[in-house]
Structure 1
């Protein structure tokens, strides 16, 4: 697994933040992405990147997650939809290929690499979904995992 460091500029995003159990995550991601996409189409806001989930904790019974899309320009908050910028920062990132159920191993290797390099997470962990389960088999899923570091 190759892990890279890069400096990323601030990125505007439209998102919904939720607390949910891990068991409901797959269904909730799909429903939430649809809700966000419908809103962005209604306000004619173009996307500027892949959908993501940001993980603010690892409590599998009560995950604190943010699901969203990078956007080209700010959008107005509406109901439970919000807007913010993911701050500019130095990020460590890797691309994982395979089923989502196997990502635990990738995270383990990633955390070991952080420990070995002396870097520490400085914010939530992000998963960017580079292709769609509707388009490719599980063995071909591509997920970019990244975290701001200090």
Structure 2
């Protein structure tokens, strides 16, 4: 069941890419790389990794997406890594249990619930795209520990305006 939660600012280190729905792994598969890089520098990881959807083309399947890992404090970055902050605020959330291919339906459920509740998303439309202030998939299950996709837990967190 969806709910609304209040979340604080959360610093993270991430990478960004302009991709299509078919090339999501180009960005998503870098989560492990980012976590390893952080641990190799002694940075404290402060939560589950995530994908952050910045924008979706309204006429096609292009999108801009980030892969990120929360950190406990400032981290000096290099290369194509960047440091940023997930913004504080009210978020509509829904936890999905199961394989990642069920996230499309879980997203549909959360968006429909938000519409039924009269919620306004932190999203604007322009330049042929939806631009989201903070739309997250948070991966709570480490597939190296739990290898049964039926047991994966993923939180959808969409910021409200």
Give TM-score, length-normalised by structure 2.
0.84
The structure in which a higher percent of residues are helix is: 1
Equivalent pairs counted in the alignment come to 148
Q: Does 1:144 align with 2:159?
A: no
The structure 1 segments of at least 4 consecutive aligned residues displaced by more than 6 Å after TM superposition are none
| Alignment root-mean-square deviation, CA | 1.6
Residue among 135, 138, 143 paired with 1:125: 135
CA deviation string 1:52-93 (max 9, x = no partner):
000112347422001011100011121110101111111111
State the partner residue of 2:125.
Answer: none
State the partner residue of 1:64.
Answer: 64
Q: Secondary structure at the match of 1:80?
A: coil
Q: Secondary structure at the match of 2:142?
A: coil
State the partner residue of 1:6.
Answer: 5
Could you list the runs of 5+ residues in structure 1 that have no partner in the other structure?
A: none
State the partner residue of 2:46.
Answer: 48
CA deviation string 1:79-122 (max 9, x = no partner):
11010111111111110011111222111111111111111211
